[in-house]
Amino acid sequence: MIKINNLIAAIAAIFLVLNTPACSFPDITDNAQNYSQYLDEADLYYKKGMEFYKANEYSKAIDALKKSLELSPDRTATRINLSVAYINRGTYFFNQKNNLEQAASDYRNAIYYLDYDGHKPISKLAEENIHIAQTNLGNVLDAMEAGSRKTIAKALRGQGKFTEAIVEFKAALKQDSDNIELYEALGDIYRALQKPVPAADNYKKALSKDSTKPELHLKYARALQDMGKNEIAVREFNIALNTGKEGQKKEILNDLEYIWIEKIKENPRDASAHMNLGVVLQKKGNLDGAMREYKIAETIDPNDITTRLNLGTLFQAKKKYNTALRAYDTILQVRPGHILAHYYKGTALRDMGRLDDAIKEFRFILKKDGRNKMAKEALFETVMLFPDKRDTLNTLATFAKNNPNDPATQYKFAFYLHSINRQDEAMKYYHRTIKADPGYTDAYLNIASIYKEKNRVNLAVSVLKDALDKMPGNVRIAEMISAIESEAATIRYHNALQMHTNGNYEEAIAEYKKIMEISEPDSDLYVNLGAAYQAFNNNTEAIKAYEKAIELDESNSTAYYYLGTGYFQEENFEKALKTYQKALAIDPKNENIKQAIESSKQVMTARLLEKGILEYNRGNYNEALLTLNTALITEPENADIYYQRGMVYDAMEKYPLAISDYEHAVKYNSGLAMAYYALAVDYDLLKNYSEAKKWYEKFIEKSQDTENEYVKYSKQRISRF
């Protein structure tokens, strides 16, 4: 193992710190005697820690110095010496105990207390020790062959080792400074450690990368609240409330309620706090409580329009519409152009069923502010409530005609036409929507859905791809493209299988290829393509398809099996056998593969045996031996191969080897009569007459034809022994 040699540097650092001047402390503003005792206790732990350190009792030194630091976190000497104790203990664990985990833990803690604890000492000595700890930690991680710093950080966090996790998350950020997940994780850990300032800082950095995450706004709000920055926290709470999940709203409202109650405690005459508390209570459904707070706010500040507006919405929630209207009208008497008063008055009129009057309010807003989304949505929602749907259609048509450059108006009319199955007209107005606003996502999606309903999938995909070119990264459009293509591929796949099953192989091949053009590469699809080619007697293309299937998925046993059949069909039996064996390794219980392996072995053996006999007959004995030896590799218990090889050895006058092969032949096939005869003759030639007699007798016993010349010769030889 490589040893870490920074112990001397760390020891040098300790003496430098021991000789530094006394550090400065914060001003004592009150309770001076208790604060003095508090500092004395920190000094006591510090002195104990240094005594333990000098005695090389690093663990006790660390415990004492940490207690000192908890009592007085801004003391530079304590912080640096604590880090040195960690570095020395880490080096001991690495060099003496080979305990890499503990060494890494100590180096991380040294880095944390010097750099990430919120009280970073500004000194050259601190920088040197940070460098030592970071270098040593890197060496330890190399020795451990650890994974990425992000992976390590997540594991440490899961183990509850928060200070160490912070060090690893910080290291991960140096490699990926735009990773929102890392900032959020740091915020979570710092908040768990009750350090709201760095927690809020990390949440803020995460939000600077992506401000669309309600959960991040909520976490940031709570960290700000922990810091006492309630005004900023309220803003973040409200963002989370308006954009977050329904299940979180009650919790957020409780947080806001607490903030406003505390504000009122500080100043009971704060009209704004009472009004905001009323808003929270109204959203929680506590209408009586909300009414009480609004009334208090109105008493404190009778001219506040926001309070009066909230009173109106409260009466509206209680379905006291006339009272709500009076509240809105009192605002409009003073501020005739007040947008929100007109808006809420319109919604109250709509809820009362006075649809025409409601529309007038919304149209008033749109004349002043043509882009007001709330008024537009409310207007269209009101139009949809007309009892006679012809009125709805005519009104939407009029709005569309009078506002050709307003995408929302064009879209609403298109959507209504779509909903009543007037697709061609709907298509026309969806296109007008896009003309007015090329980034109107829903218009593209609905055009594509109409094409899909008309079974014109290619046009649907084309429209969506054009939209994606204009809006790269649009998730909804990308997802719809994927869904349509997947559905189209599935339908075509079923069609191709039907063609294949019906024996229309050429058509099936064409269909499989078209599917590949519109979908992700798929191993099983290539297997089917290969099977169609094979059935169509195009074995070359079949093999290419099976090889592609294996390239995509090396665990596809079916692909290996069919590839083996392709090689078998080409009479490349050795390659077929190897491929079948790969298939069986993946799927060891497959009987079809087992049978294919046996068939390959039998054919290979038969071919090799036939070749061996031919070479024997030609007198090419060495070539015959090589061929028969190869055959035995495939089938090591084949009697015919041993018998034939014995004949080769006989021809080469290698009788002991021939005898051995003939004995193997009768061992594996006791009915192979000529092997007994060959054994007898070889023993006879070697003048081992007792063995020769034994094998002549067995040959006669096994022979079917008792009058053939070999039997007669055998009997003649026996009579002479």
Per-residue pLDDT tens over the stretch 243-273: 888 888 999 999 999 999 999 999 999 999 9
Residue 661 lies in a domain: yes
Q: Average pLDDT for residues 439-448, to the nearest whole number?
A: 96
Query: How many domains would you assign to the chain?
Result: 2
Tokens 């006339």 correspond to 322
Whether 11 shows a pLDDT value over 50: the answer reads no
Domain boundary (226, 243, 260) is at: 243
Banded model confidence at residue 514, pLDDT cuts 50, 70, 90: confident
Banded model confidence at residue 39, pLDDT cuts 50, 70, 90: low
Q: Average pLDDT for residues 479-504, to the nearest whole number?
A: 84
Residues 163, 165, 167, 173: is their CA dihedral positive or negative?
A: negative
Nearest residue to 169 via CA among 196, 206, 124, 142: 206
Tokens 């069923």 correspond to 353
Cα–Cα distance, 278 to 280 (Å, whole number): 5
Residue 2 lies in a domain: no
Cα–Cα distance, 62 to 86 (Å, whole number): 7
Whether 22 shows a pLDDT value over 80: the answer reads no
- Top pLDDT among 408 and 16 is at 408
Q: For residue range 306-323, what is the model confidence (pLDDT) as tens digits?
A: 999 999 999 999 999 999
Whether 499 shows a pLDDT value over 60: the answer reads yes
Nearest residue to 308 via CA among 323, 318, 298, 320: 298
Domain boundary (243, 265, 287) is at: 243
Cα–Cα distance, 246 to 242 (Å, whole number): 9
- For residues 144 and 160, is the Cβ–Cβ distance under 8 A? no
Residue 431 lies in a domain: no
Q: For residue range 561-618, what is the model confidence (pLDDT) as tens digits?
A: 999 999 988 888 889 989 999 999 999 999 999 999 888 888 888 888 999 999 999 9
Residue 696 lies in a domain: yes
The per-residue b/e assignment along 92-119, b for 16 or more CB within 10 angstroms, e otherwise, is bbbeeeeebeebbbbbbbbbbbbbbbee
Rg (CA), the chain: 45
Banded model confidence at residue 706, pLDDT cuts 50, 70, 90: confident
- Would you list the DSSP string of 460-501? HHHHHHHHHHHSTT-HHHHHHHHHHHHHHHHHHHHHHHHHHH
DSSP H helical segments within 587-637, as ranges?
A: 591-617, 621-634
- State if pTM tops 0.75: no
Residues above pLDDT 90, as percent of the chain? 76
Give the pLDDT score at 24.
Answer: 28
Q: What are phi and psi of 395, to 5 degrees?
A: -65, -45
Cα–Cα distance, 353 to 347 (Å, whole number): 10
Residue 495 lies in a domain: no
Residues 395, 396, 397, 400: is their CA dihedral positive or negative?
A: positive
- For residues 195 and 113, is the Cβ–Cβ distance under 8 A? no
Name, in order, each residue with C-beta under 8 angstroms of 408's C-beta and a sequence gap of 6 or more: 373, 376, 380
Domain hosting 112: range is: 7-24+31-243
Give the pLDDT score at 501.
Answer: 87
Cα–Cα distance, 638 to 623 (Å, whole number): 19
Give the pLDDT score at 511.
Answer: 86
Residues above pLDDT 70, as percent of the chain? 94
Whether 38 shows a pLDDT value over 60: the answer reads no
> Which CATH number fits the domain that encloses residue 667?
1.25.40.10
Nearest residue to 699 via CA among 711, 708, 686, 713: 711
Banded model confidence at residue 26, pLDDT cuts 50, 70, 90: very low
What residue type is assigned to position 66 of the chain? K
Average confidence score pLDDT of the chain: 89
Whether 17 shows a pLDDT value over 60: the answer reads no
Residue 138 lies in a domain: yes
- For residues 186 and 150, is the Cβ–Cβ distance under 8 A? no
DSSP state of 22: P
Cα–Cα distance, 445 to 506 (Å, whole number): 36
Give the pLDDT score at 122.
Answer: 87
Cα–Cα distance, 593 to 583 (Å, whole number): 7
Residue 124 lies in a domain: yes
Residue 367 lies in a domain: no
Greatest alpha-carbon pair distance for the chain in Å reads 145
Number of separate helices (H) and strands (E) present in the chain: 38, 0
Q: Average pLDDT for residues 176-196, to the nearest whole number?
A: 95
Q: Average pLDDT for residues 14-18, to the nearest whole number?
A: 36
Whether 13 shows a pLDDT value over 70: the answer reads no
Question: HEC states along 316-328?
Answer: HHCCCHHHHHHHH
- For residues 221 and 236, is the Cβ–Cβ distance under 8 A? yes
Give the pLDDT score at 108.
Answer: 96
Whether 286 shows a pLDDT value over 70: the answer reads yes
Whether 401 shows a pLDDT value over 90: the answer reads yes
C-alpha 69: how far from chain center: 41
- For residues 423 and 447, is the Cβ–Cβ distance under 8 A? no
- Would you list the DSSP string of 349-389? HHHTT-HHHHHHHHHHHHHH-TT-HHHHHHHHHHHTT-SSH
Give the pLDDT score at 30.
Answer: 38
Give the pLDDT score at 493.
Answer: 80
Domain boundary (201, 224, 243) is at: 243
Whether 86 shows a pLDDT value over 90: the answer reads yes
Cα–Cα distance, 187 to 193 (Å, whole number): 10
Give the pLDDT score at 7.
Answer: 44
Residues 616, 621, 627, 629: is their CA dihedral positive or negative?
A: positive
Give the pLDDT score at 617.
Answer: 94
Specify the 3-state DSSP secondary structure of 123: coil
Cα–Cα distance, 306 to 313 (Å, whole number): 11
Whether 636 shows a pLDDT value over 60: the answer reads yes
